[in-house]
């Protein structure tokens, strides 16, 4: 990427100029570089190189995440400098989508979830004017899509930021302040084979009965609750049965999305009470996280949108993000922001609107400058 140094009053590190065409070219290159979870290295190398071209100190950490900072060692905090962490992710779900430009739309896996927000982070960080004593750290984390969140967990241990923005699609005119919690469960059943004409039914019948009991328990939990964000959502992800001629087995995978007042432990207890002879395994446990809509990050993004004549929307999402991982650990002002329609996440039609992507960069740059000024002066962070 061709860049040029911009003259401004910010003393903290080099600043550069990135044209709209260059921004779109970088996004296209990132989307055109496959990075299914567990295979993120090529796109990490691409973004590390381009971040360096833009004057950011960049590297790849021990997890394979790309990390870039406006000053100092990107993998170390400096007690004399306040960090604002911009945490996105570079991995995608599987499924090839041909990368193509159709009018103002850029199609490709990851264009919305979440290379668009991450590339916007890098450009906004490289071009923002920052006061002395504040730096931006951009993390393109690995393994966000497979519930391990390995990259985010490494970042959570490495930094203690003054503020954090999560890179997920909210739409350029909205700010996400909350995500539901999650629990993934696998139920396994095995028994001696019996004749299908007999009275005992099949192992598939037994698995179906378990799921019926689970749904009844979830329905009881949801009594008096209104709206998807406030309710427990239960989804049957897969069911497999098999037999070796002597024994038959079933494996059922299910996912649960949890409101703030329902913990993963509560759902573990519910599933155990329904298990009977089944064995249960659990993974992907995350507690819901809802930020104060008056915190410094939400204020900065919202004020920037209002200054542009837009009434910002404040969203609570029924999915999860790396906000669930770092939010409880850092306890700092936090929100998620990024261009893109999240209803296109993981779909065969995933695409991002180029004008929206470019608007999001301008919003981020202005909001980060406001937030950095507040952090530098020690103004209340609204935690």
Catalytic residue among 91, 145, 251, 350: 91
- Residues in Cβ contact with 278 at an 8 Å cutoff, skipping those fewer than 6 apart: 187, 188, 189, 206, 207, 210
Residue 47, number of CB atoms within 10 A of its CB: 29
Instruction: List phi, psi (to 5°) of 337.
Output: -150, 145
Q: Are 178 and 259 in contact (CB under 8 A)?
A: no
**Spatial separation of the C-alpha atoms in residues 329 and 154, rounded to whole Å:** 12
Based on the residue annotation, tell me whether 144 is a catalytic residue of this protein.
yes
**Spatial separation of the C-alpha atoms in residues 36 and 25, rounded to whole Å:** 21
Based on the residue annotation, tell me whether 261 is a catalytic residue of this protein.
no
Report CA 162 to chain centroid distance, whole Å. Answer: 19
Angle between the N-to-C axes of helices 116-127 and 41-53, in degrees from 0 to 180, rounded to the nearest 10: 20
In 3D space, the residue among 113, 239, 248 whose CA is nearest the CA of residue 169 turns out to be: 113
**Spatial separation of the C-alpha atoms in residues 230 and 98, rounded to whole Å:** 37
Catalytic residue among 144, 168, 248, 251: 144
Q: Among all residues, which ones are annotated catalytic?
A: 91, 144
């Amino acid at each position: 990427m061709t860049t040029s140094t911009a003259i401004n009053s910010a003393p903290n590190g080099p600043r550069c100029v990135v044209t709209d065409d260059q921004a779109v070219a970088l996004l296209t290159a990132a989307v055109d570089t496959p990075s299914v979870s567990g295979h993120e290295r090529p796109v990490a190398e691409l973004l590390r190189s381009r971040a360096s071209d833009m004057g950011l100190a960049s590297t790849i950490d021990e997890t394979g995440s790309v990390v870039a900072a406006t000053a100092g060692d990107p993998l170390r905090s400096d007690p004399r400098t306040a960090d604002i962490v911009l945490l996105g992710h570079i991995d995608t779900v599987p499924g090839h989508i041909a990368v193509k430009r159709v009018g103002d739309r850029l199609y490709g896996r990851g264009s919305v979830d979440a290379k668009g927000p991450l590339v916007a982070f890098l450009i906004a960080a490289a071009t923002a004017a920052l006061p002395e004593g504040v730096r931006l750290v951009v993390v393109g984390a690995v393994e966000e899509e497979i519930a391990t969140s390995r990259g985010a967990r490494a970042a959570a241990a490495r930094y203690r930021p003054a503020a954090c923005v999560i890179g997920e699609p909210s739409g350029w005119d909205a700010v996400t302040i909350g995500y539901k919690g999650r629990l993934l469960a696998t139920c396994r059943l095995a028994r001696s084979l019996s004749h299908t004409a007999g009275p005992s039914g099949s192992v598939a019948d037994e698995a179906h009965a378990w799921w019926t009991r689970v749904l009844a328990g979830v329905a009881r939990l949801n009594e008096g609750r209104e709206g998807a964000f406030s309710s427990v959502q239960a989804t049957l992800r897969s069911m497999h049965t098999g037999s070796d001629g002597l024994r038959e087995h079933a494996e059922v995978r299910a996912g649960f999305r949890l409101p703030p007042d329902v913990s993963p432990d509560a759902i573990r207890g519910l599933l155990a009470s329904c298990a009977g002879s089944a064995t249960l395994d659990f993974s992907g446990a995350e507690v819901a996280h809802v930020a104060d809509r008056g915190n410094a990050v939400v204020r900065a993004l919202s004020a920037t949108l209002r200054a542009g004549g837009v009434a910002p929307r404040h969203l609570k999402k029924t999915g999860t993000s790396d906000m669930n991982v770092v939010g409880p650990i850092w306890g700092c002002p936090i929100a998620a922001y990024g261009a893109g329609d999240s209803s296109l996440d993981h779909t065969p039609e995933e695409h991002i609107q180029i004008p929206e992507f470019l608007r999001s960069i301008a919003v981020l740059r202005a909001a980060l400058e406001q937030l950095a000024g507040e952090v530098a002066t020690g103004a209340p962070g609204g935690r």
